[in-house]
Amino acid sequence: MYMIVAWRVQYLTMMNRTMPNTPCTSFFTNSEWKAVWTAVAKKKLPKKAPRLEEMMDLIARLGGHNNRDGDKPPGAECIWRGMRRVDDLAFAWDAFGPEANRDVGN
């Protein structure tokens, strides 16, 4: 299981460095990017999904990256910590977000 997680973290880190202008929906579900955008950017959801570079910046911030001038790009550990939080945010988005199905059990 850890190898799969490590592969995804490394893959996202490398894709961010080589293809930053790719839409984030190529790598993340709607629940993932919308939840992260809402929680970290604290802005209204954009009509179009953000670029991978923007999404990875938000994930890195979740993982503890400060993004100060002179800081190196976020590495795998920072992205891994952020991705753990992405899973929780996406779960909460699906359960309680504006697109949640609240008729379950009624």
Contact 63, 85 (CB under 8 A): yes
| pLDDT-derived band at 2, boundaries 50, 70, 90 | confident
Contact present, 66 and 48 (Cβ < 8 Å): no
| Token pair 């990256």: residue | 65
Enter the DSSP assignment of 48. Answer: S
3 state DSSP class of 23: strand
Residue 106 pLDDT greater than 80, yes or no: no
User: Tokens 């992260």 sit at which residue?
Assistant: 36
Whole-angstrom Cα distance, residue 45 to residue 96?
16
pTM score, whole prediction = 0.85
Task: Give which of 17, 21, 90 is closest to 50, Cα–Cα.
Answer: 21
Confirm if 23 and 47 have CB atoms less than 8 A apart: no
- The CATH architecture of the domain made up of 15-96 is Orthogonal Bundle (1.10)
Report which of residues 1 and 46 the model is more confident about.
Answer: 46
Q: Is the pLDDT of residue 104 over 60?
A: no
| pLDDT digit string, tens, across residues 42-92 | 889 999 999 999 999 999 999 998 878 888 888 888 999 999 999 999 999
